[in-house]
């Protein structure tokens, strides 16, 4: 990738950093920008084209930074604006772009606008303040529930209620108010002016609500939620696209769009809206050949209709790590099933073997690929965190019924044989005592490690002219085997059949695990040079 390539987002390998958990430089147990700057060489050697930062803004951390108090600054626990500027410049010098998270659906109760709204009625229309129901307004304005559990309304001192589809510390913005739209377009300019190359948009499909705030109707098509995927939302992102297009070098807008309907999903990717969006259908897909092929076909068809690149994601900061998922009987992921699958029996050796195979599958598919920090180390989900250590509001708002997302957010292990694995102090979430095998130090010089596999695969992906953005074609293959070609002479074969299959003719470029002579073992992928 070259920083002069204005279409970089179509085939980039993008690494997600969750700032609190990536690298702690000052020894306070919390990751920081200095820790990232010190490890930019690690990311360069890994072979990524861009870094996506989960929110780095000032925040009370009611939801780990997704409750933003100030969209134009850096949280002091992470560093300063000057450090962010230095990081951006240093990353660019290594040919690595920077993507930051913007959270437009909601803010923090500590945000200046919300604090003003508590005492100044003229500010309340920037949020969803409403009178309650019941004789004394003692009931919420409607029956909406929070995605994190419990009601979606909280009452303030004067008796009104405000809407928060997530935690009570995250009041929702009212995007019918033009001041909100102007504010966020100015926030985009603020960061683009500082060299940021892209914006990842949190909860992108949720920002516009039905102004009538009707009660939930489960029979209402296509989506029963009056706060999700409304047609008016596309005007918001057309405005954002105009801002992004006003900057040189290809500033990208990437949406977090959780939608089951691929056609509705694709509407966000029309030429005057977002550049790309996360493929959650693939992320949640079980380790099953038929399901994966269906997902790939539907993804490529939907994206082709609007000329957008597909994205391929295996894990992120909100889902159970895929090494753990793939080692279970039920290998897919759905948020509402997290609590029922928590602590389900996991075969980590099997999950790791499948995760290695899945890595080669994702990196061979057309479009861009995302790597969540620690994925390249093969980290499993940490499921035995003590209740007192858990900080995800989902855990608290469900009374502990849902374990939440802390298990995929445990700080990375860099070196050493015991916690804190190369950091100066214990992390904000406790690291397991048996993670020595997964440290960067332990894996760096091991040619069979997950880290070595990712480094080789990303290097080949960048060097191979047929990979990244572009066409693919399925090959005839045995049942439960995925096989396809990319470009001129490259093939990927993934064996999900449960037993060995014949290896196609060709020179092996890379395999996710040991091959058995002329056989491709179960749960193994191979990249081939074919004629």
CA distance 169 to 382: 26
Neighbours of 361 (CB within 10 A): 22
Q: Can you give the length of the chain in residues?
A: 531
All residues at 6 or more sequence positions from 111 whose CB lies less than 8 Å from its CB, including other chains: 68, 69, 70
In the sheet where 129-130 sits, what is the strand order? 129-130, 161-163, 153-155
Which residues, listed in sequence order, are joined to residue 218 by a DSSP beta bridge?
Answer: none
Dihedral of the alpha carbons of 47, 43, 307, 200, in degrees to the nearest 10? 170
CA distance 278 to 99: 14
∠ CA(73), CA(77), CA(83), 5° rounding? 55
- Cis peptide leading into 115, omega within 30 of 0? no
- Helix residue ranges per DSSP H, 227-309: 233-245, 262-267, 280-283, 289-304
**Residue 4 C-beta-side C-alpha neighbours within 13 Å:** 0
- Cis peptide leading into 265, omega within 30 of 0? no
Q: At what angle do helices 233-245 and 178-193 cross, to 10 degrees?
A: 30
What positions carry a catalytic annotation? 202, 256
């Amino acid at each position: 990738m070259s920083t002069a390539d204005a279409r970089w987002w179509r085939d980039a390998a993008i690494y997600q950093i969750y700032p609190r958990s990536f690298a702690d430089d000052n020894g306070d147990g919390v990751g920081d920008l200095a820790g990232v700057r010190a490890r930019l060489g690690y990311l360069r050697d890994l072979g990524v084209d861009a870094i996506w930062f989960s929110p780095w803004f000032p925040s009370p951390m009611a939801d780990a930074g997704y409750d933003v108090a100030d969209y134009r600054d850096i949280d002091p626990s992470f560093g300063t604006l000057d450090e962010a500027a230095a990081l951006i410049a240093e990353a660019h010098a290594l040919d690595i772009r920077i993507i930051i998270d913007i959270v437009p659906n909601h803010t923090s109760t500590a945000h200046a606008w919300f604090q003003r709204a508590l005492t100044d009625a003229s500010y309340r229309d920037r949020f969803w303040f409403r009178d309650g129901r019941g004789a004394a307004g003692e009931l919420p304005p409607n029956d909406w529930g929070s995605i994190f559990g419990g009601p979606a309304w909280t009452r303030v001192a004067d008796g009104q209620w405000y809407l928060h589809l997530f935690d009570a510390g995250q009041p929702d913005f009212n995007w019918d108010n033009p001041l909100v739209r102007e504010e966020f377009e100015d926030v985009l300019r603020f960061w683009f002016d500082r060299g940021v190359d892209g914006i990842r948009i949190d909860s992108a499909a949720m920002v516009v609500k039905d102004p009538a705030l009707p009660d939930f109707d489960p029979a209402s098509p296509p989506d029963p939620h009056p706060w999700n995927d409304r047609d008016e939302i596309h005007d918001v992102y057309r405005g954002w696209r105009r801002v992004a297009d006003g900057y040189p070098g290809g500033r990208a807008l990437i949406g977090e769009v959780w939608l089951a309907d691929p056609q509705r999903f694709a509407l966000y990717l029309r030429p005057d809206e977002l550049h790309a969006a996360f493929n959650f259908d693939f992320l949640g897909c079980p380790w099953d050949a038929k399901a994966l092929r269906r997902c790939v076909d539907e993804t490529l068809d939907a994206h082709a209709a609007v000329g957008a690149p597909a994205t391929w994601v295996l894990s992120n900061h909100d889902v159970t790590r895929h090494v753990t998922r793939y080692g279970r009987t039920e290998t897919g992921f759905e948020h509402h099933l997290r609590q029922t699958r928590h602590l389900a029996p996991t075969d980590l050796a099997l999950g790791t073997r499948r995760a290695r195979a899945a890595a080669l599958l994702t990196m061979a598919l057309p479009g861009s690929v995302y790597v969540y920090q620690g994925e390249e180390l093969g980290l499993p989900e940490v499921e035995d965190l003590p209740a007192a250590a858990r900080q995800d509001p989902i855990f608290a708002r469900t009374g502990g019924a849902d374990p939440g997302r802390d298990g995929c957010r445990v700080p990375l292990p860099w070196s050493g044989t015991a916690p804190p694995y190369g950091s100066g102090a214990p992390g904000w979430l406790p690291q397991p005592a048996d993670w020595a095998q997964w440290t960067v130090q332990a894996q760096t010089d091991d040619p069979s490690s997950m880290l070595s596999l990712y480094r080789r695969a990303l290097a080949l992906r960048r060097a191979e002219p047929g990979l990244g953005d572009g066409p693919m074609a399925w090959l005839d293959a045995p049942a439960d085997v995925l096989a396809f070609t990319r470009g001129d002479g490259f093939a990927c074969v993934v064996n999900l059949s449960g037993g060995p299959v014949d290896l196609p003719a060709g020179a092996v470029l890379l395999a996710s695990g040991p091959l058995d002579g002329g056989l491709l073992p179960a749960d193994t992928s191979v990249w081939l040079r074919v004629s």
